[in-house]
Structure 1
């Protein structure tokens, strides 16, 4: 007889984090929202590196230009632009030709022409690299040559002649930074405060909740004005002010969850094992409130963006030439009839961010729900 050894296949266990990640990946809406948020973040933070324009660069020749994929300027308008540049230099334009992105102009005058006068051609947005290719001995006539500067404005320009595409990118940077930073502040303070209040209960809970109600009664705008007067106007101050207000609601939500969790069997078992109150809060209470907290954070971020927009509208938030999606939407609403693209493009990115955060929040809630573990 021969001995046969039966080997059982090894079974690899999965941690709670792996199971939650697996459930999250199965949620198509949550994965789509995550991809959309990633694309918006890349557009906002990486896009400016590949743009030839700055967010505060002004193009006087292209004020309130409609979105277009065609390059500017219009070839038919170059003759008029050259005439205007020559008139500002007190010269006469005798001839003007454009061929393959290069212009040739002949200018004359009754007096000798100062070579520095060619700077008037480079001061307009349509021409660049202007140089003198030929001149007469008496300097009463010169031939100029240069390049036609082609500019692209896929999102159009605003009422000051600034590229809206770059400003939407900048607005995404500020809005996303304000939303995430203020939400993290409210998350850090609110979760610890609410879990401590709900778990300890009794007189401590009453005192801590009365403090929250007193802070709730303070006018938000008045608090912002006072802090701006004392500390000055800055973006960092916006993070602190909004986060200092948003944590109050976070604390109430976490307290409500804690009141129901502290009566569960696993909390009683932890108390029987001799764990301290802080250990129970840190290891058992806070991790089991992650689901509602994550969902609430995904709601807080767009709310914070709207709050920042309101502060900027009052002159207490982001100031020009900086911009956020909120300020761009506010400016676009004022020019909605004459230049609707000023409202449409920032609103599209804001709405996409809002929906993506909601989908991601729902996916995280389902993945981190303790009942599904």
Structure 2
């Protein structure tokens, strides 16, 4: 007889894969439709601002004198009905008479005449206007009193219209997004780096050191922000880097107070006492245990700081203390649009739309991160 008990195969239990806290937080964040929609919108705005200029035929400072404050349109400029008047105006500036003008398949033919010999450099007057390009002499009369010019009609597209200086508003909105987003991220990183270390150090050391460090924060809080900006602009001049430094140097104060509050509750936890028993120094405990455990609230607060920084930069640009022409941010574009709101409302509408969408998206993402990283929401 065979021993059935010894021949029966062992039953193996399937392994259960666990999930880390980060995976659980990411799963909760993905379930938040508003946060995911905000993340997608931020991605699209970032691609529009940073990748869009690579595909635009215009630069942010390129001026089109023939298309000043034109309304948004998907049709190409110029209007064919206006080309004869443009050619006649160019001929008059060259002191010539336009006898005939025709346009066919994007190529124009103009016959000009004069009561004295025509200089071949006359073609420059036609190329100086935005409607014509690559003008050349096709035929010259033997007496040089008449000349036939040919060239191409230059078609330009302005989906967002142009500003009061004849610059493409689409490209300038892209540039404004680059500067506003860069200012928001750079100033937030500055406040993050200074505020987290300062607040964690103050809260962990406590006692007299904490009192002195917090009094310094309160003194800096009492300084008027606009007055500080004006003083720095007077001494160092207007610069985009100055905006980064000024906004970052003020925003870290709130970050330091939040991290200090988190640190006061963390330093009484058991893992901090265990680290002290192992002989770790104060800086090692702050770097390895305190700061990593404040990441959740800090990340949520950063999503609030970024739109606040963008608003601050827009406010400074609105006052004329921000970026200077020909550069532009959403704040300067909105300021210019507000001055021309009655005559050219599109100058205000388009930058305001992107500005509002960015702020709403950041708020939705911040709410989603707050819910995902909340340890009580399991």
Q: Secondary structure at the match of 1:371?
A: coil
Runs of 4+ in 1 over 6 A off after TM superposition: none
Q: How many residues align?
A: 373
Residue 345 (structure 1) shift: 0.5
1:190 aligns with 2:195: yes
1:146 aligns with 2:151: yes
Residue 255 (structure 1) shift: 1.6
* Cα distance in 2 between the residues matched to 1:33 and 1:283: 32
Structure 2 matches for 1:104-123, cutoff 5 A?
A: 104-123=109-128
Task: Judge which range, 257-266 or 34-43, deviates more.
Answer: 257-266
Residue 159 (structure 1) shift: 0.5
The one of 69, 77, 83 aligned to 2:82: 77
Structure 2 matches for 1:315-334, cutoff 5 A?
A: 315-334=320-339
1:68 aligns with 2:73: yes
* Cα distance in 2 between the residues matched to 1:249 and 1:14: 33
The TM-score normalised by the length of structure 2 is: 0.94
* Cα distance in 2 between the residues matched to 1:260 and 1:45: 42
Conserved 8 A contact 2:77-2:157: yes
Residue 121 (structure 1) shift: 0.6
Conserved 8 A contact 1:290-1:368: no
Partner of 2:290: 285
Structure 2 matches for 1:32-181, cutoff 5 A?
A: 32-181=37-186
Q: Secondary structure at the match of 2:376?
A: helix
* Cα distance in 1 between the residues matched to 2:92 and 2:177: 42
Partner of 2:374: 369
1:220 aligns with 2:225: yes
The TM-score normalised by the length of structure 1 is: 0.95
Q: Secondary structure at the match of 2:238?
A: coil
> Structure 2: where are the runs of 5+ without partners?
none
1:234 aligns with 2:239: yes
* Cα distance in 2 between the residues matched to 1:368 and 1:144: 70
Partner of 1:11: 16
Conserved 8 A contact 1:288-1:370: no
Conserved 8 A contact 2:238-2:324: no
> Structure 1: where are the runs of 5+ without partners?
none
Task: Judge which range, 298-307 or 319-328, deviates more.
Answer: 298-307
When residues 119 and 111 of structure 1 are mapped into structure 2, their CA distance, relative to the original with a 3 A threshold, is same
Deviation digits for residues 199-237 of structure 1 (CA, Å, limit 9, x no counterpart): 222111110010011111222223223333333332112
Q: Secondary structure at the match of 2:300?
A: helix
RMSD: 1.6
Task: Judge which range, 75-84 or 210-219, deviates more.
Answer: 210-219
Residue 265 (structure 1) shift: 4.1
